C-alpha cells in the first residue's frame, strides 16, 4: 500500500507540472503518513542528503563552467578545432564535435556546452551553407561529451547516490575513454551526412596557424588539467580541486583573455547560485524519496522482476538501458541519477558489473535523454539558438542517436572501455 501511494503521488504531481524536487518531497511525506512515521524523518533525510562535504564541489564546478561559457573560452576552442580539422569534408561539423569534446572537458555541463558552442558554431555553419537541422543535430548530440568527459558534477551526484562507495576520481577517469569514443563515432556520422549533402571543406591554414590557435586555447584547456591533475595526484580533494578550478577559470578569463565583463561575471554568479540551489533541493528531496524506496525493498523487487523475465546478463543490461532511455525522455537528469542509482545499482552488481562502469552507462543514457523530446534541455536550447522548430530537427537526427546508442552498447558490454584507466591509476 505504501509503495503504491509513494509512486502514485509522485506520478500525479509530476504530471500536474509541479517541479520534480517538490514531487519527490510530497511523495515522501505521503509515504511517511501512510506508514505512521513522524514527518520529521523526511526533513532529517533531506538535510542529511544535502550535508555531504563532497557536494561543495558542485557550486564550484558550476561556477567555473559559467565563467568559461561567458569568458571567451568557447570561441578560442572553436578556432583551435577549426584549424585542426576544418579541411575535411563538412569540416565545421567535425569542428563542432571536437569543440564539444574540448569544451565539455572544461565546463562539465551538456546544457552549457550547447548554449556556449551553439551560439558560436550554428551561425558560423549557417554562413558556410550548412543546413540548420544538421547544425543543431551536431551541436545537441555532441554536447553529451560535457557529461562524460571530466570534470562532471553529475558524477558527484552519482557517487553520492551510490552510497559513497564509489571513488569520484575513478569516475572521472572512467569517463574519458567512453566520452572520446562517443565523439569519434559521432564524428563518423557527421562526416557521412556531410558527404551525402555535399557540404564544403575549408583550406588547411598551415601548421603555424594550428600552433598559435593551440597556444591561445591552452589556458582554457588547462582548467581541466588543473582539476583532474590535482585530484589524481592527491594534492587536492575533489572539493578543493573544484575550488582551484573556479579560481583558475576566473584568472584566465580576466587576466589572460580579458574578455569577462563585470556584467558577465554577475550573470555567472547568479546562474551558479540558481543552479546550485536547484541541485541541492533536488538532492535533499531525492534522498528522502530513496529512503522509502529502500524501505519498500524496490531494488529487490526490480531484480526479481527482471530475472523472472530472463536471467541472461546481457538481456537484463539491455532492459536496464531501455528503461533508462525511456525515463530520460521524461525526467530531469539529476533527479534520475539520484532515483535510479539506488534501484539499478544493486541489480547490475548482482550480474557482476562494476559500479564505476555502471556510472558511465547511466551518464550516457541520461545524457541521451537531454537530446530527446519531450523534456530534452539540450534539444530545446539548440533549437532556440538556431531559431528552428523541434519537429524539423527530429526528422534528421536519427543517425546521431544511432551513433550514441552504438557507443552506449560498447560501454555497456565492454568493461575495459570504462575500467582500464581507473585500474591503471589505482
* Residue-wise pLDDT tens digits, 387-398: 888 888 888 889
pLDDT at residue 106 greater than cutoff 70: no
Q: What span, in angstroms and rounded, lies between the C-alpha atoms of 312 and 309?
A: 9
Quick check: 36 and 65 in contact, CB under 8 A? Answer: no
CA 47 from chain center: how many Å?
25
| Average of per-residue pLDDT across 359-380 | 85
Contact 271, 50 (CB under 8 A): no
Dmax (CA) for the chain in angstroms is 73
Residue 361 has a pLDDT of: 94
Q: What is the pLDDT of residue 419?
A: 93
Looking at residue 108, what is its pLDDT?
62
Residues 392/130, Cβ–Cβ less than 8 Å? no
Instruction: Evaluate if residue 359 carries a pLDDT over 70.
Output: yes
Where does the pLDDT of residue 107 fall: very low under 50, low under 70, confident under 90, or very high at 90 and above?
low
CA gap 296, 292 in Å, rounded: 6
Residue 291 and residue 31: Cα distance in Å, rounded?
10
CA angle in degrees (0–180, nearest 5) for 119-122-127: 120
Name the least confident of 115-129, 138-152, 241-255, 320-334. 115-129
DSSP structure class, residue 151: P
Question: How far is Cα 100 from Cα 204, in angstroms, rounded to an integer?
Answer: 21
Instruction: Find all residues with CB under 8 Å of 283, minimum gap 6, and list them.
Output: 49, 50, 55, 157, 160, 334, 338
Query: pLDDT per residue over 178-227, tens digit each?
Result: 999 999 999 999 989 988 888 877 777 778 888 888 888 888 778 777 87
Amino acid 132: pLDDT: 86
| Global confidence as pTM | 0.85
The more confidently predicted of residues 91 and 312 is 312
Q: Is 234:33 a contact under the CB 8 Å cutoff?
A: no
Q: What is the DSSP letter of 252?
A: I
CB 223, CB 245: distance < 8 Å: yes
**Residue for grid cell 507540472:** 17
What is the tens place of the pLDDT at every residue in 118-160? 777 888 888 888 888 888 899 889 888 888 888 778 888 898 8
As a whole number of Å, the end-to-end CA separation of the chain is 45
Residue 165, CA atoms < 13 Å, CB-side half-sphere: 9
pLDDT(294) > 70: yes
Compute the distance between CA of residue 365 and CA of residue 25 in angstroms, rounded to an integer: 25
The percentage of residues in the chain with a pLDDT greater than 70, rounded to a whole number, is 98
In whole angstroms, give the CA distance from residue 68 to residue 264: 10
Amino acid at each position: 500500500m505504501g509503495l503504491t501511494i509513494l509512486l502514485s503521488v509522485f506520478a500525479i504531481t509530476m504530471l500536474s507540472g509541479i517541479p520534480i524536487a517538490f514531487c519527490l518531497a510530497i511523495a515522501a511525506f505521503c509515504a511517511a503518513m501512510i506508514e505512521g512515521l513522524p514527518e520529521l524523518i523526511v526533513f532529517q533525510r533531506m538535510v542529511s542528503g544535502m550535508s555531504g562535504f563532497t557536494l561543495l564541489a558542485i557550486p564550484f564546478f558550476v561556477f567555473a563552467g559559467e565563467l568559461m561559457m561567458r569568458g571567451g573560452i568557447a570561441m578560442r576552442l572553436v578556432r583551435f578545432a577549426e584549424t585542426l580539422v576544418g579541411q575535411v569534408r563538412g569540416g565545421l561539423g567535425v569542428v563542432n564535435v571536437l569543440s564539444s569534446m574540448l569544451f565539455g572537458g572544461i565546463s562539465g555541463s551538456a546544457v552549457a556546452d550547447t548554449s556556449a558552442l551553439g551560439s558560436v558554431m550554428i551561425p558560423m555553419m549557417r554562413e558556410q551553407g550548412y543546413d540548420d537541422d544538421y547544425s543543431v543535430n551536431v551541436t545537441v548530440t555532441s554536447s553529451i561529451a560535457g557529461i562524460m568527459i571530466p570534470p562532471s558534477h553529475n558524477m558527484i551526484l552519482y557517487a553520492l547516490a551510490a552510497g559513497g562507495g564509489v571513488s569520484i576520481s575513478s569516475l572521472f577517469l572512467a569517463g574519458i575513454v567512453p566520452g572520446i569514443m562517443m565523439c569519434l563515432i559521432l564524428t563518423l556520422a557527421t562526416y557521412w551526412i556531410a558527404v551525402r549533402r555535399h557540404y564544403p571543406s575549408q583550406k588547411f591554414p598551415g601548421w603555424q596557424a594550428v600552433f598559435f590557435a593551440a597556444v591561445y586555447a591552452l589556458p582554457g584547456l588547462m582548467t581541466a588539467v588543473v582539476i583532474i591533475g590535482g585530484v589524481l595526484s592527491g594534492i587536492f580533494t575533489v572539493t578543493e580541486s573544484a575550488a582551484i578550478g573556479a579560481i583558475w577559470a576566473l584568472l584566465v578569463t580576466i587576466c589572460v583573455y580579458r574578455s569577462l565583463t563585470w556584467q558577465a561575471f554577475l550573470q555567472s554568479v547568479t546562474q551558479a547560485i540558481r543552479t546550485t540551489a536547484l541541485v541541492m533541493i533536488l538532492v535533499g528531496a531525492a534522498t528522502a524519496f530513496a529512503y522509502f524506496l529502500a524501505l519498500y525493498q524496490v531494488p529487490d523487487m526490480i531484480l526479481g522482476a527482471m530475472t523472472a523475465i530472463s536471467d541472461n546478463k546481457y538481456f537484463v543490461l539491455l532492459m536496464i538501458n531501455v528503461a533508462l532511455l525511456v525515463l530520460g525522455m521524461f525526467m530531469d537528469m539529476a533527479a534520475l541519477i539520484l532515483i535510479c542509482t539506488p534501484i539499478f545499482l544493486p541489480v547490475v552488481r548482482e550480474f557482476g558489473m562494476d559500479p564505476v562502469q555502471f556510472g558511465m552507462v547511466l551518464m550516457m543514457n541520461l545524457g541521451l535523454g537531454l537530446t530527446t523530446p519531450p523534456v530534452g534541455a539540450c534539444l530545446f536550447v539548440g533549437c532556440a539558438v538556431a531559431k528552428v522548430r523541434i519537429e524539423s530537427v527530429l526528422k534528421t537526427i536519427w543517425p546521431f542517436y544511432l551513433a550514441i546508442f552504438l557507443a552506449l552498447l560498447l560501454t555497456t558490454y565492454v568493461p575495459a572501455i570504462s575500467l582500464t584507466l581507473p585500474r591503471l591509476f589505482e
